[in-house]
Structure 1
Amino acid sequence: MRPTAPDPADTDAWNAYLAEGNAKQARKRVAADILLRDPAGRVLLVNPTYKPGWDLPGGMAEANESPEDTVRRELIEELGLRVTVRGLLVVDWVAPHGPWDDQIAFVFDGGTLSQDQADLLRPRDGELAEAAFVAPDEAGGRLGERIRRRYTAAMTALTSGRTLYLHNGVVLD
């Protein structure tokens, strides 16, 4: 089927054409994490119960949910925390791996929490075993390779003020 300009009298046909195209296009998995710090400059990591290793706070998007809404929802559900998303640090295209199709992963800047907010952080659901603020250099040692590369790029983006685009955690120039 070749696209044509919509006929105002035949919007149903045009919408059917668009729906067919939408059904055939690739769908991407979307993940959204956030980089949060405490007043001492330590970064927040979470230890999920459903996979090994530590991670940045955040998670997978639901259908038709924006990445920034995803990270806000995940923080409320898992930590009871409401934050302002301050900007985008990293976009990482992750190639298919294992049973998974490709993915787009975002890391946002969540800024610095107040000491009171940091002191009150506790896992609120069964998805997290623990949450901890750790020194930035210690964080890399707790994270798995894939998320470590994304975290390192996010820290670079934070200090440079420039969003970074990655392929499998590797910065593209």
Structure 2
Amino acid sequence: MPHIEEENAHHTAMLFVPLPKRTTQVMGFLAFAIESVMMVFHLHARNVMDAHIHKLLGLTMMCSMISALGECFNPNNFWLIITRIFFALTQGTWFIQAAYVLWPQTNNPIFIWDPQSHRSLSLLTMSYAYHLAGNAFLLIISYLLVYMSTSSRRKLIHYEIDDDEIMSDYKLISNINDEDNCI
């Protein structure tokens, strides 16, 4: 009670307002949108290769936005969730890749990129494609490991539980507030 004084009393109304359905998905979409807008206005006075790296990152952010928007309308669609995870993973790993391209930690000419060369842009685009393939491979391996660990556990308790009972109420994402909020 002592921290709620007259100048902060108006903030208490925020605690009692029910949140709209799927607020977390909408906030994810807005976060990707803001990040994309920042990336667009981040390209001024950059060399060709630096701008290209950022454009590829912006493309990834736009794909994240689209998958997050789709997830707002259908939050339990496995493919939308995997797509969002894939592009969010790609954002993070591409940040690391871009740092090594823009600021190499060596003086070895093999690892120094020519910022004005068309060849460097082509290699960078190819690196991005390989980067996407590597992230897809990483997600497939992760999915298979989770699948194998959960399927072996399910075999152990299969005789105790009827699968139809479990799957009838199963949701990938359960929003606790969805039933309470009618907005």
TM-score exceeds 0.5: no
After TM superposition, the score normalised by the length of structure 1 is: 0.25
Q: Which has the larger radius of gyration?
A: 2
Structure with the larger RCO, 1 or 2 (CA within 8 Å, 6+ apart): 2
- Structure with more of its chain in helix, by fraction: 2
